Amino acid sequence: MKQTKQKSGEVAVSEKKSTGIFQLLLLWVLIPLLFASAVLLIIAKVADVNVFDKAREVTQSIPFLKKDESKEQAQNDIVLEERVVSLQAEIQNKEAELTKIQSDLEKAEKDKDTLLAKQQELLAEIEMLKSAKDDSQKDMKEIVSTFESMSAKSAAPVLTSMSDAEALQILTKLKPDTLASILEKMSPEDAAKYTSLMTK
């Protein structure tokens, strides 16, 4: 029984010793280090020194931590050169597109001017045709009134000597009574021909 008490006492003492060593380590080493770090950071902030940049410089000066900057710089240069080349190619493509668009626009402007000139010509021609049509209608009215004033015996031989189109144009404009009297004075073949032409 004494032995078990003694063993449990030794365990308690050893636990106290291990706990005591950890506490001592914490109190005498870790806390002063943290305090000193905090003080140094405050001093660096007041002195306007960037601690992290300084730490980076220090780590880069260490040979086995130092990165191969020349390789990295060369890779960056290659990437930048490739980007510049691709951008120059893109600029050339855009300039070619712009040139094509400008030439298309100039061609469209010329086509538009040509079409406007043609439109003006066609409008003038339409006006001429309208006036000619009006004149021919006036002439046709005068011719029809002349045939209506003529005797049927005189009008029939004149109409048969004309072309079918001209005779038909006059005959379709005559009054029905005048038309009937003119057809009576024509030969039966001519009267039949003009009657069939008027019904078409």
**pLDDT tens sequence across 106-134:** 999 999 999 999 999 999 888 888 888 77
Hey, is 35 helix, strand or coil?
helix
Residue 92 is predicted with a pLDDT of 94
pLDDT, residue 67, reads 54
pLDDT of residue 53: 78
For residue 100, what pLDDT is reported?
Answer: 94
How far is 65 from 87, CA to CA, in rounded Å?
A: 36
Predicted pLDDT at 77: 84
Q: What token pair was written down for 24? A: 């001592």
- CA pair distance 91, 85, nearest whole angstrom: 10
Res 102: pLDDT: 93
What is the reported pTM? 0.36
Q: Which two tokens stand for residue 176?
A: 């029905």
Instruction: Give me 61's structure tokens.
Output: 């000066």
**pLDDT for position 12:** 53
pLDDT at 9: 53
pLDDT of residue 64: 58
Buried b (16+ CB within 10 A) or exposed e, 77-102: eeeeeeeeeeeeeeeeeeeeeeeeee
H or E stretch covering 85: helix 69-149
**Low-confidence spans in the chain with pLDDT less than 70:** 1-19, 60-70
Residue 31 has what pLDDT?
Answer: 81
Q: Give the pLDDT of residue 76.
A: 84
Residue 105, pLDDT score = 93
